Amino acid sequence: MQPQDYSRRVAYRPPAAWYRRISNRLGVLLTSLGLAPRGAVTLTVLGRKSGKPRRIPVLVTPYRGEDYLVALAGESDWVRNVRAAGGQAVIRRRSAHPVHLTEVPVDGRSEIIAEYLRSGARWGAKAAAQQARFYFGLDPDPTLTQIRAVAGYYPVFRATYRRGAGQDAHGGTGDRASSG
C-alpha cells in the first residue's frame, strides 16, 4: 500500500477515506498511549465550529531545541482549528502536554521541513524517499532551494510547552512529548 499522497500543489490535500478512518481511530489511540513510532503524538484542539475537542495524530519534528508540527495536508481542519483557537492545544503521548502553537512564516519553514525529511531517514532510505515524494512531491534527496519552492503549501507550527502544576518547562513530568 502506498502512503497518502500530499504532493499536489493546492491549498488543501484531503486524506483518502481509508487513511482518515485509520488515522482518526487507530492512530489517535496508539499515539495517545505512546505506542506509535517515536515522535508521533495526538494533537487535541477545539473545533472552530463545534467547540468540541478534535484529535489527530501528528509527528513532532525537533529542530534546534524546539518542537514543530508540519501540516502535510496543507490548510487542513487541524490547521484551521489551531488558528481559530489562538494556538492553544494539547499534545498527548502517554500524558497531556498543554502547548501554544505559533505558526512559522513561510520563509522560515524550509529548514524545518528539511529536518522533517531527514528524520524520516531513521526508517531507511526507501521510507525517506517515499516521504519526500508522496508528502512534498520532491526528489529523494531534495535541496533547500527545492524545499523552499513548496514550503508555502505546508503550514508549520512551533510548539511552546506551557507550565502547569507539577510539570516541567516542556509541559510534562520530565519526558518531552516527542520522547519514545
- What pLDDT, in 10s, does the model give residues 26-60? 666 666 676 666 788 889 999 999 999 999 889 89
Number of independent structural domains in the chain: 1
Asked, for residue 171, whether it belongs to a domain, the answer is no
Where do the H-state alpha helices sit in the chain?
A: 17-22, 28-33, 77-84, 110-120, 125-130, 136, 144-150
The pLDDT tens digits of the residues spanning 86-101 come to: 999 999 988 899 999 9
Domain that holds residue 157: 17-161
Is the whole model's pTM more than 0.85, yes or no? Answer: no
* Nearest residue to 57 (alpha-carbon basis) of 85, 87, 88, 33: 33
The CATH number of whichever domain residue 149 belongs to comes to 2.30.110.10
On whether residue 100 sits in a domain, the answer given is yes
